[in-house]
Amino acid sequence: MRRLRILVLMHPDFMPPDKTSGYTAQQINVWKTEYDVVSTLRAAGHEVRPLGVQDELKPVRDAIEGFKPQVVFNLLEQFHGEVIYDHNVASYLQLMQVAYTGCNPRGLMLARGKDLSKTLVHYHRIAVPAFAVFPMRRKVKRPARLALPLMVKSLSEDGSKGISQASVVETDEKLAERVAFVHEHIGTAAIAEQYIEGRELYVGVLGNKRLRVLPVWELKFGNMAEGARPIATEKIKHDPNYQERVGILDGPVKDLAPEACSRIQRIAKRVYRTLELDGYARIDFRLAADGTPYFIEANPNPEIAKSQEFATAAQHDGLAYPDLLQRILALGISRAAAGVSAG
């Protein structure tokens, strides 16, 4: 790919330093994706300008008009402190008629609401856990069709925010308590879904119209405390010290027949198309003991640090990290050239 001017959008708190020396693993963990993207693109010879964006679009407009990027690498996961506004930033870039990486606004909206994405996917005969939504300031009453135990989490937040061992509830009293926790501490509606005892699987998908499905990846929970549920809690996802202490690892799925892996990959592709995603996304499943892969959620624009599941799965599939970023750039540029908003 030719040398490009690339504007990289990120939260101001995640602006990376030039080097990682002198920082702890905990500190690096905050901005590792931003650092890996910026440093790798610069090493590839591109002219890269990071820009912190929080609650104003004017700096984005100024940077586009002044720097004249050929493509914007969009690493924003929220705007004005709200994750549900991520699609608005993509829409703004579209209105500015600049190429940008990652998912289109419609795909971001469809994937963001866990209830909507599950409803759409279930319509296409893909297994999803039974679920119910509990809006803010409403009395919590479990529908009779919804059997315990249940997994309770935010309806719209991602990154396992607010998820802990207490998120799996086995009584109506605990359900009410956990829904109240989501309402009060996260500030969103809550979703309670059937808890699927099984394995945590991730499938990366890359592409607009022609899709590349990455190998099935598994989150392995190591030596957790006795009685602990194998779920992707906030601590497991984001605390490197805890990950090392307990032995949390991710890697290619093992002890699963090739036919089963191929089936899960095909389902991931169907989910990707159903939710009108493009660019790149990670599709999350729970694999039940009977072999049924239950769709849990779709994550457009997932974290792409070198050490994260998407990049390591791509590496395992023969796509080195610099090549992965180049492919993501090319997908954004080709979408803009085609003059469409979705793949």
Copy the structure tokens of residue 255.
């002890």
State the angle between helix axes of 105-112 and 114-123 in degrees (0 to 180), rounded to the nearest 10.
Answer: 100
- Kindly state whether residue 188 falls inside one of the protein's structural domains: yes
Question: For residue 341, what pLDDT is reported?
Answer: 45
CA distance 72 to 49: 10
Q: Which of 20-24, 77-81, 93-97, 324-328 has the lowest mean pLDDT?
A: 77-81
CATH number of the CATH domain containing 9: 3.40.50.20
- Kindly state whether residue 50 falls inside one of the protein's structural domains: yes
Q: What is the mean pLDDT of residues 237-246?
A: 81
Strands (E), the chain: 5-10, 47-52, 71-74, 131-134, 150-154, 168-169, 190-194, 198-207, 211-213, 217-220, 249-252, 280-288, 293-300
Q: How confident is the model at residue 243 (pLDDT cuts 50, 70, 90)?
A: confident
Q: What is the mean pLDDT of residues 66-71?
A: 97
* pLDDT one-digit tens code per residue, 106-145: 999 999 989 999 999 999 999 999 999 999 988 999 999 9
CATH number of the CATH domain containing 145: 3.30.1490
Copy the structure tokens of residue 247.
């032995």
What percent of the chain lies above the pLDDT cut of 70?
A: 99
The 8-class DSSP code of residue 113 comes to: S
Question: Who wins on pLDDT, 247 or 215?
Answer: 215
Q: Which domain holds residue 257?
A: 197-338
Do 92 and 134 fall into the same domain? no
* pLDDT one-digit tens code per residue, 141-192: 999 999 999 999 999 888 788 899 999 999 999 999 999 999 999 999 999 9
What percent of the chain lies above the pLDDT cut of 90?
A: 80
CATH number of the CATH domain containing 234: 3.30.470.20
- 206 beta partners: 212, 280
- Kindly state whether residue 254 falls inside one of the protein's structural domains: yes
Q: What is the mean pLDDT of residues 193-219?
A: 97
Do 202 and 334 fall into the same domain? yes
Domain count along the chain: 3
Query: 11: left (phi > 0), else alpha (psi -120 to 50), else beta?
Result: beta
- Kindly state whether residue 113 falls inside one of the protein's structural domains: no
Contact between residue 162 and residue 152 where contact means Cβ atoms under 8 Å apart? no
- Predicted model pTM: 0.93
